[in-house]
Structure 1
Amino acid sequence: MPGSRRSPTPPLFSRWVVAFASVFGLLLLLLLGLSFLGIYGLSGIRGYVLGEGLWSKAQKRSVIALQQYAFTGDARFHRAFREEIEITRGDRQAREELERPDPDMSVVREGFLRGQIPDAAITPMARVFRWGRNIGFVDRSIEVWDEGDRAIEELVALAESLHVELKRDIPDSLRVLGLLGEIGEVDERLTELEEDFSRTFNEGAAQVEQALFAALTLLTVSLLVAGVLGTRFFLRQIKRRDEALRRSETRYRELFERNVVGVLLAADDGSVMEVNEAFARALGYPDPKEMEGRSVRDFLSVEPLELTESRDPRVIPARGAGGIRRYLLLAATPVRTAGDPGEQILVTATDVTDRHVLEERLARARKMEAMGQLAGGVAHDFNNLLTVVLGHAQILEADLRSQGTPDPAIMESIAEIVRTSGTAAGLTRQLLTFSRSRVMEQRVIDVNEAVEAAHSLITRLLPSMIECRVELTRRLEPVKLSPVHLEQLLLNMTINARDAMVEGGVLTLRTGMRSVSEGRRTERLELSPGTYVVLEIEDTGHGMDSETVARIFEPFFTTKDQERGTGMGLATVYGIVTQAGGTIDVRTAPGEGTTFTIYLPAFPSVASAGSAESS
Structure 2
Amino acid sequence: MDVLLNERSSQRKWKDISISKKIYFLFGGLLSIIFIESVVLYTSIQTLSSVRALVAAEGKWSRAQKSAMNQIHSYMISKDPIHFYAFQKSLEKIKGVQEARKEIESNHPNYEIFYSGLTKIGNHPEDVPGMFYILYNFKNFEPIKKPIEIWATADKNIAELWRVGQNLHEKFLSQNDQEADIQLAQAKLEVLDGRLSSLENDFSESLSLGARNMEGLIFTSVLMSVLLLGSLFSIFVIRFTRELKRNFKKIEVSTSKIGHGDLKERILIDQENELGQIATAINQMV
Matching of residue 161 in structure 1 with residue 167 in structure 2: yes
Letter of the structure 2 residue corresponding to residue 101 of structure 1: N
Aligned match for 1:116, one of 122, 133, 149 = 122
Matching of residue 100 in structure 1 with residue 95 in structure 2: no
Q: Name the residue aligned to 1:190.
A: 196
Aligned match for 1:219, one of 216, 222, 225 = 225
Which of structures 1 and 2 has the larger relative contact order (alpha carbons within 8 angstroms, sep 6+)? 2
Matching of residue 54 in structure 1 with residue 60 in structure 2: yes
Structure 1 residue 46: deviation in Å? 1.7
User: Take 2:147 and 2:195, find their aligned partners in 1: how far apart are those partners?
Assistant: 16
- The answer to whether the 8 A contact 1:89-1:115 is kept is no
- The structure-2 alpha-carbon separation of the partners of 1:150 and 1:12, relative to structure 1 and needing over 3 Å to count, comes to same
User: Take 2:110 and 2:252, find their aligned partners in 1: how far apart are those partners?
Assistant: 67
User: Take 2:34 and 2:131, find their aligned partners in 1: how far apart are those partners?
Assistant: 27
Whichever of the two has the greater Rg, that structure is: 1
- The answer to whether the 8 A contact 1:24-1:223 is kept is no
1:201-280 superposed matches below 5 A: 201-236=207-242
User: Take 2:98 and 2:20, find their aligned partners in 1: how far apart are those partners?
Assistant: 58
User: Take 2:40 and 2:127, find their aligned partners in 1: how far apart are those partners?
Assistant: 19
User: Take 2:22 and 2:124, find their aligned partners in 1: how far apart are those partners?
Assistant: 51
Letter of the structure 2 residue corresponding to residue 143 of structure 1: E
Letter of the structure 1 residue corresponding to residue 218 of structure 2: L
- The structure-2 alpha-carbon separation of the partners of 1:17 and 1:244, relative to structure 1 and needing over 3 Å to count, comes to farther
Structure 1 residue 222: deviation in Å? 3.6
User: Take 1:45 and 1:33, find their aligned partners in 2: how far apart are those partners?
Assistant: 18
Q: Name the residue aligned to 1:12.
A: 19
Letter of the structure 1 residue corresponding to residue 210 of structure 2: G
Structure 1 residue 122: deviation in Å? 1.0
Matched residue SS, 2:51:
helix
How high is the TM-score relative to the length of structure 1?
Answer: 0.35
Aligned match for 1:137, one of 129, 140, 143 = 143
- The answer to whether the 8 A contact 1:162-1:176 is kept is yes
Q: Name the residue aligned to 1:38.
A: 44
Q: Name the residue aligned to 1:149.
A: 155
Letter of the structure 1 residue corresponding to residue 82 of structure 2: R
- The structure-2 alpha-carbon separation of the partners of 1:229 and 1:105, relative to structure 1 and needing over 3 Å to count, comes to same
Structure 1 residue 9: deviation in Å? 9.7
Deviations 1:450-495 (A, max 9, x none): xxxxxxxxxxxxxxxxxxxxxxxxxxxxxxxxxxxxxxxxxxxxxx
Matched residue SS, 1:167:
helix
Aligned match for 2:206, one of 187, 194, 200 = 200
Structure 1 residue 234: deviation in Å? 4.6
Q: Name the residue aligned to 2:82.
A: 76
Deviations 1:565-600 (A, max 9, x none): xxxxxxxxxxxxxxxxxxxxxxxxxxxxxxxxxxxx
- The structure-2 alpha-carbon separation of the partners of 1:207 and 1:9, relative to structure 1 and needing over 3 Å to count, comes to closer
1:394-543 superposed matches below 5 A: none
- The structure-2 alpha-carbon separation of the partners of 1:246 and 1:196, relative to structure 1 and needing over 3 Å to count, comes to same
Matched residue SS, 1:117:
coil
For structure 2, the residue ranges without an aligned partner over 5 or more in a row are 1-14, 257-286
User: Take 1:186 and 1:87, find their aligned partners in 2: how far apart are those partners?
Assistant: 18
- The answer to whether the 8 A contact 1:95-1:108 is kept is yes
- The answer to whether the 8 A contact 1:12-1:241 is kept is no
For structure 1, the residue ranges without an aligned partner over 5 or more in a row are 1-7, 251-615
User: Take 1:9 and 1:149, find their aligned partners in 2: how far apart are those partners?
Assistant: 68
Q: Name the residue aligned to 1:63.
A: 69
Structure having the larger proportion of residues in strand:
1
Letter of the structure 2 residue corresponding to residue 117 of structure 1: N
How high is the TM-score relative to the length of structure 2?
Answer: 0.72
- The answer to whether the 8 A contact 1:9-1:241 is kept is no
Structure having the larger proportion of residues in helix:
2
User: Take 1:79 and 1:9, find their aligned partners in 2: how far apart are those partners?
Assistant: 81
Q: Name the residue aligned to 1:174.
A: 180
User: Take 1:166 and 1:177, find their aligned partners in 2: how far apart are those partners?
Assistant: 14
Matched residue SS, 1:206:
helix
Letter of the structure 1 residue corresponding to residue 73 of structure 2: Q
- The answer to whether the 8 A contact 2:143-2:213 is kept is no
Deviations 1:123-169 (A, max 9, x none): 11111122112211211111111111111010000001121233344
1:307-318 superposed matches below 5 A: none
The RMSD of aligned alpha carbons is 3.6
- The answer to whether the 8 A contact 1:9-1:244 is kept is no
Deviations 1:322-354 (A, max 9, x none): xxxxxxxxxxxxxxxxxxxxxxxxxxxxxxxxx
Letter of the structure 1 residue corresponding to residue 127 of structure 2: A
